[in-house]
Structure 1
């Protein structure tokens, strides 16, 4: 049996985990730092949009900023800090109404379509959003909007949490899948090859072979909205609502 990590080791692990940046005390200094928080985040988003998560490093970010790594580490302790901050900057682009409408379903739809839009604007963001706690102020603001809409619709307690998770996971999962497919220059050819493979093995996969979606590029929106309508229909008729 492996020994349990000590308290200090557990604390250090948590301090360096995804999402930890939101719990660290803000640093103060008598001298003005060379870099601004805003510039670091904007540059990180730019690099992520261009190269993706795997190619982002603290060294590359510092080089792009034209700064010494020491200046960068004054603001952010780890690459995960950078990713958390960049992801929350994406959520800042989510344009939600200042006031809720008379229709909780309409508010949920606004949340889902808006979130999908900003995640697709930054193809790395959806997969990253599914890999870490979303605790930044902009992500929490969007969650507050969705939770309030669902609470207005009669959801409460664990049912409210499950409903919120359902709509959020659908958006993140579908946007992540779409971003991966759209990145392929041969999307249509790949889908045709998959379809041919399934038909060649129709005895093993009869349902898949008969229903594999050969989506054209312009079908992604319709595909997403069909799924969203199914979710909203299920939520509207759910016995979990008060």
Structure 2
């Protein structure tokens, strides 16, 4: 197994452009498009070079490894999460807006879920992470409380987006319509209601209003953070 270089692409200087049409930005945009179409398994340096209409040698001049491409593509997706403007609504509104943007970006690019165990050191990731921490710090959190709150929010967004994307991809891969899959799973739970009474009565994740559930769950987290602030606000 090839050992990943600590920091990877983010700690190496970008090489100068050798030919005008080929830039890192163009490579990343094409990589994101390929990942959207074929997933992480479908991304190879050869396939990417073909889509760019160039040779592997030219591609390797700009990006050293496939890991570089994945790191750059993941950071580009994070860049789609728009940072809230102004201070309207206070820390809760700004945090809620950023979390919603992050979730939306992940759902547009479901392959990102498979890469979130990688070191996240790109400028877009760091800018949004800094914004979240700064927002919570201005609200009154510090030290381990700040870290725990930021991690809790991040993990909630990642987990909810991963689950929603997984349910959606399962329906697509089986060729079943959403209604058919929902009915089959609901029937499965009802038949086992004695063993799983709450689940049978509640339904199953695929039948959930994902947007409403996300907003409600995020609200619970924000309520908990608010209770931990000085003055409980």
- Equivalent residues of 1:33, 1:71 under 8 A apart: no
5+ residue gaps, structure 1, are 1-8
For 1:79, the equivalent position in structure 2 comes to 66
Structure number with higher helix proportion: 2
TM superposition outliers: structure 1 runs of 4+ over 4 Å: 31-34, 214-217, 239-242
Q: CA deviation at 1:78?
A: 1.7
Distance 1:95 1:214 in 2: 28
For 1:62, the equivalent position in structure 2 comes to 49
Q: CA deviation at 1:209?
A: 2.3
- Among candidates 116, 121, 136, match of residue 103 of structure 2: 116
Distance 1:172 1:143 in 2: 14
The answer to which of 128-137 and 106-115 deviates more is: 128-137
- Among candidates 105, 123, 129, match of residue 92 of structure 2: 105
Distance 2:68 2:231 in 1: 38
5+ residue gaps, structure 2, are none
Q: CA deviation at 1:84?
A: 0.8
Q: CA deviation at 1:40?
A: 0.4
Q: CA deviation at 1:196?
A: 2.2
TM-score, structure 1 normalization = 0.83
Q: CA deviation at 1:240?
A: 8.4
- Among candidates 186, 190, 197, match of residue 195 of structure 1: 186
> Aligned pair 1:131/2:117, yes or no?
yes
Q: How many residues align?
A: 227
| Residues 1:99 and 1:164: Cα distance change in structure 2 (over 3 Å) | same
- Among candidates 156, 166, 169, match of residue 152 of structure 2: 166
